[in-house]
Each structure stands twice: as C-alpha cells, then as structure tokens.
Amino acid sequence: MVKNFLKFFTLLTLYNACLVSAHFSLFKIMNNGIELEYTKNGVLRKKDECNINFVNFGIDDDIDKISVNKEKPIFSISSSFNLKISNLKNGNEGLNSENYKFNNNEINNYVRVYQNDNEISNFSTSEEEAGYFSLTIKDLKSCDGITIKQTFKSELAIATYLLYSNVKPDDINKTFDVSHFGPSSNNTPYAIVHWDMNSGLDNLREKCGIYIDYTNIRDKTNGVYHWRWYLSTNNINGENCDNKEFYDIVKNSFNEDYDQMKELFGDFYEGYVLKREDAQYAHIDGILAEKQKYIIEIYQNQCNNQDQNQVICILSSNKKLNFEEFQKEFVENCESVIIDNKENAKWGIDANGVFAEFSQFKINIENKNYGKLPNSITEEITYKEFIEANSSGIARFNINMDCGEGSFVGDKCRCSACPLNCSKCNNGSSCEKCNEISTLVEGRCYCNSGYTENNDGICVVKPEPTVTITEVQPEPTVTVAGVDDNDDDDVDNENNNEVETPTPTQAIEEFNQTTISKTVNAIKQNDSNNKKPSSRKPKGKAIRKCRVKYH
C-alpha cells in the first residue's frame, strides 16, 4: 500500500483504460474518455463540466454507462437548469426474496442527493426498463460537487456456507459447485443472518476502498428480478485489505442473529465473499481461520420442525480427534444439547456408535455420511479428506436424544421439561400423561384429591388442618380493704386522699375509669382493725383511685 503518492500506472486490456493508484484513490480512463476516480467518498465520474460522485451504483461499466444531461426550457431566461441522470441500477429491486416488497414508487425514498455536502430534496425519480431508474435534479445553478447515493430499504438476509477444502480460491467472484461447500444440504445453510448494507458498504468503501460490483446479469428468484453482485477483496481494493481485514469490517454490520455463527464456529469462521446470485438468499462463502483444518458437523432430526439437514453444532480442530478429545470438544461446543456441561457423563462405544449418559438423559451419536466414529477408545475419528488442500477433512454425525421421564426434545435440540406434574409430553405447553398424583384434563395436569399445588405449582400431599388454641386469661380482680360509708366523700375529693406508703417490696397500682393496667403484686390481708377483707370489682364510673390498707 502506498501513502500520498502515485503507485503504479498500467494498461488494462479488459477496459482499454488507464489505472492509477494513490492513497485511497484509483483512476480509470474509460473508452469514451470518461475518467473514473475511486475514493473513500464513492466513484467520481468526470465528464465535461459535470463531475458527479456516485455511491453504491457499482463500478466501471456501471458508472461509465450512466447518462448525464442538462435540461433547460427553450424560452427560459433563468440561469438554472435541471440535471437528468439515467441508467442507474436499482439495487433495492429484489433485495430479499422473503418478507420483502419493493415498489418502484419507493425509489425516491432511497436516493440521497447532495451538493457540496448540502442535501438537496428537489428531485424526482422514474422507473426505467430492466432494473434501471432515472433521476432528475431540479433548479441547479451548477453541477459542481454533486453526490448521488443509493441507500437500501432493508437489511440483507444472508445464508452462510463453508468451503470444505478450507483454501480461499484465487478467483472469488463467480459461482462454484455446491458439493464443495457445507453443510450437507446446500439448501440448508448453517444460519440465516442479517446484514446492514448501508453501514456495511460505507465501512468497506471508507476503510478498504472496496465497492459493490454489480454484474450485468439480472436473475429471477421467486418471480422477482434482482441484480447479481459481489463483494470481496477481489473487487477494486484501494487499500489492499487482506481477507481478515475485509471480514472484520463486514462482521461489524451484522445484527444480533450472527450469534448463531459464533455458537457454531466461535471466532474461526472467516467469510471471503458476500454475493447475490440466482439463489433465494444472498450468501457468504467462508473458510476456517487459524489453521482449523478439520471439522465435525453434528446433526439432529428430532427437534419439532427442525430440518434434518440443519447443523446444530460444529467441532473444529487443527488435527484429527481421538475418542477422548472428541468427548471434550463435544461437551465444550455442543452446549445446545447438553443441559449441564459440568456434569461428568458416562461415555462409551456400542454397536450403534458413541453414547454419553447423563443423569437425566442420554445422547446417542451415530455416523451420517462423511467420516466415521471410532470403534474403540484408542481410535481416531475418520474424516473425508480433500485433494484440493493438504490435511483437511470433514466428518458428519447424527445425534439422538433419550430424554428421561417428564422431559422432551425441544426447539434447541435438547431435553426440556414437560409442563408441571406431567410425565410424558411432546412440547412444553400440553401434556399427554400426568404423574400418579395428578389427573389429565385437556392437556393439563390437576392434583388428585388429597393433594394440592405448592408455591411452584407442583402437586404435593395436602397438609392436615391445624387448630390454634388461644388461652383466655380471667379478668384481674383487686382485693380492697373495707371502706366506710364516709369514704364515698373521699372519692369526690380525691385530691385530699391519703395513701399509706408501702414497703419497698410492695406495690400500689393505679387504674383509671376504663382499665386496670396491672395486677397488684401483693395485697396484705387483715387491716389494722382486724376486719375481714371483702373482694369486689371497682365501679368504673365511681372509682378512679382507691385506698389500700396493709397490715
């Protein structure tokens, strides 16, 4: 890569054009004298006095064949004019084949026009034949600094594949024999992921000088036409990015569903081309990086609507795995089928293949079509190897799950719990057979007589009713010394009452009109006149204080 000076000047026989490369800038002179300059801002088309920058409309011939014309009314005395630009490729047409519709009336919504960094809204678009459209910018004073950018309506749905030979081809931007790619059925990719074309194309152009390359082939998929295109390091690559740099930039524009690829490959997968051909989806072809030459694909065909050709986990390595290494890699990489990867399973080999017994379920692993499981604990995995690459191979195995009572094989291809109190089911919402202490009613288990649901909804023995006995204490009484009739006068004049001072071990309790706060600790019997004491409840309305005499 050369910074800030002219790198090379060569004759391209393909275009009969001159190509000049400088820092982030490439120049091509086309047959008709139009000069194209490739920069981080787009492809600048230089012709006469109108030099226009095009973004996301392709390269080379796609830009060269664009028609630019000034239009001005015959009798107009104004210096302004309209600028009509034709033969622009519509990249939104058939962008996706599923859950996507694009009406040509929407073209206007996905075109941005700028002049010297100021956005222009006074323009119109019109559909042309065979996937092209035209654009008319109105009331211009000049065409200096014009940029026209195509944006995209939707994220791009991309199917992901792996080149088994694990060697990136020299010639990338073309179709290949699907038998060279995994997974086993090319109609069932490893995953469908979604890519933001707007940010993705901007980042590739600005950081690598790579531009989308539309071909002149217009495919038809599911009754909808779309342009065929490619993105790779084999495109114009102004900064000479290598494949790792290319794919690191691409990955930044995937949404969260790219986690599927991380679950399968970790960080080893490295795509080398994004392309839209004649298939239902755009797709990525990739290899395994960091010398991961051998892969084992694990399939499972018991997961509800799971496609039997859908890979559920992948084991990659830089050498052939033996039986013990296979166990370790399976537990670490196939977490989607193992409930607890810290549990030590019992591994073994039987007539059908390899098995792993866990406390709640059993996994049976069998040969599929490529490669072979070991017949003894001392053997290695047998791989199908490829003559295109030294020491590279693929093996494919099927797994079957034996789930314990009260569980089933769920969407994640693992044993999942049946509904509460259910011992047999096919999904997590409806039961086929309840446990012995509950009864099945319309797919749900209800507790039998004598049982009840606990806080977790599980049937348990109904507890015996409990009775709480509260002891009722008798109302406290006060024994009061005999009171003379004259004592009634003392009640009315309580301020003059005198109370004998008790000894320190004795207590005098005071009560008001409504309550007696405590029971008197000790009341001595017999007063000084040797009278027999009498017991009575004080009258609440008459007695606020009483005189107690102690002997």
Q: Determine how many CB atoms are found less than 10 A away from the CB of residue 413.
A: 23
10 Å Cβ neighbour count for 263?
Answer: 17
**What local confidence, expressed as pLDDT, does residue 336 receive?**
80
Three-state DSSP class for residue 247: helix
For 453-486, the pLDDT digits (tens) are 999 999 999 988 777 777 767 776 665 555 455 5
d(CA 160, CA 268): 14
pLDDT at 11 over 60: no
Confidence (pLDDT) at 87: 96
Above 70 in pLDDT, residue 306?
Answer: no
Q: Please list the residues that pair with 480 across neighbouring strands.
A: 534
Determine whether 226 is exposed, middle or buried from the number of CB atoms within 10 Å of its CB (0-12, 13-18, 19+).
Answer: buried
Give the C-alpha separation, 25 to 525, whole Å: 120
Residue 375 is predicted with a pLDDT of: 93
CA angle 28, 32, 38 (to 5 degrees): 20
The token pair that represents 418 in the structure block = 């049946």
Cβ(76)–Cβ(65) under 8 Å?
A: no
Query: What is the rounded CA–CA span in Å between residue 282 and residue 291?
Result: 27
Q: What percent of the chain has pLDDT over 90?
A: 53
pLDDT digits (tens, 9 = 90+) for 119-135: 999 999 999 989 999 99
Q: What percent of the chain has pLDDT over 70?
A: 78
How far apart CA 392 and CA 474 sit, in angstroms, is 95
Least confident interval from 2-16, 224-238, 505-519: 2-16
Q: Give the residue-averaged pLDDT of 176-180.
A: 82
DSSP state letters, 408-459? EE-TTSSEEEPSTTEEEESSSS-EEEE-TTEEEETTEEEEPTTEEE-TTS-E
pLDDT in tens, 497-551: 444 544 444 433 444 444 434 433 433 444 444 444 444 444 444 434 444 444 4
The span from the CA of 116 to the CA of 144, in Å, is 8
**In the structure encoding, which two tokens stand for residue 455, read together?**
């806080």
Average pLDDT over residues 65-72: 91
- Is there a contact between 459 and 452 (Cβ–Cβ < 8 Å)? yes
Q: What is the largest CA-CA distance in the chain?
A: 145
139-155 pLDDT tens trace: 999 989 999 999 999 99
- Residue 29: the pLDDT is 82
Q: Span 391-396, mean pLDDT?
A: 83
Q: What are the angstrom distances between the C-alpha of 383 and each of 86, 322, 368, 413, 533?
A: 55, 12, 12, 25, 111
The b-or-e profile of 297-313 (16+ CB within 10 A means b, else e) is bbbbeebeebeeebbbb
Q: In this structure, what token pair is assigned to residue 323?
A: 């039986």
Q: pTM (2 decimals)? A: 0.72
pLDDT of amino acid 181: 87
- Among 98-102, 305-309, 347-351, 515-519, the range of highest mean pLDDT: 347-351
Pairing relationship of beta strands 393-403 and 294-299 according to DSSP bridges? parallel
Could you tell me the two tokens for 55? 């973004």
Is 168:272 a contact under the CB 8 Å cutoff? Answer: yes
User: Is residue 59 predicted with pLDDT exceeding 70?
Assistant: yes
Residues 28 and 45 sit within 8 Å (Cβ to Cβ): no
Give the Cα separation of 226 and 157 in Å (integer).
14
For residue 183, whether the previous peptide bond is cis, meaning omega lies within 30 degrees of 0, is: yes
DSSP 151: -
Task: Tell me what the pLDDT averaged over the chain comes to.
Answer: 82
From the list 60, 22, 30, the residue with the least C-alpha distance to 43 is 60
What single letter denotes the amino acid at residue 470?
T
| Interaxial angle between packed helices 243-251 and 197-208, expressed in degrees from 0 to 180 and rounded to the nearest 10 | 150
Question: What is the pLDDT at residue 237?
Answer: 95
**What value does the mean pLDDT take over residues 390-415?**
83
Cα distance between residue 299 and residue 283, in whole Å: 21
Q: Whole-angstrom Cα distance, residue 45 to residue 49?
A: 11
> Is the model's pLDDT at 447 over the cut of 70?
yes
How confident is the model over 152-173, as a mean pLDDT?
92
Given a cut of 70, is residue 206 above it in pLDDT? yes
Question: What 8-state DSSP symbol labels residue 167?
Answer: -
> Could you tell me the two tokens for 456?
């977790």
What is the C-alpha separation between 466 and 367, in angstroms, rounded? 61
Q: What are phi and psi of 420, to 5 degrees?
A: -55, 135
> Please, which residues bridge with residue 27 across strands?
20, 37
Helix (H, G, I), strand (E, B) or coil at 543: coil
48-53 mean pLDDT? 89
Q: Which of 247-256, 286-295, 424-433 is least confident?
A: 286-295
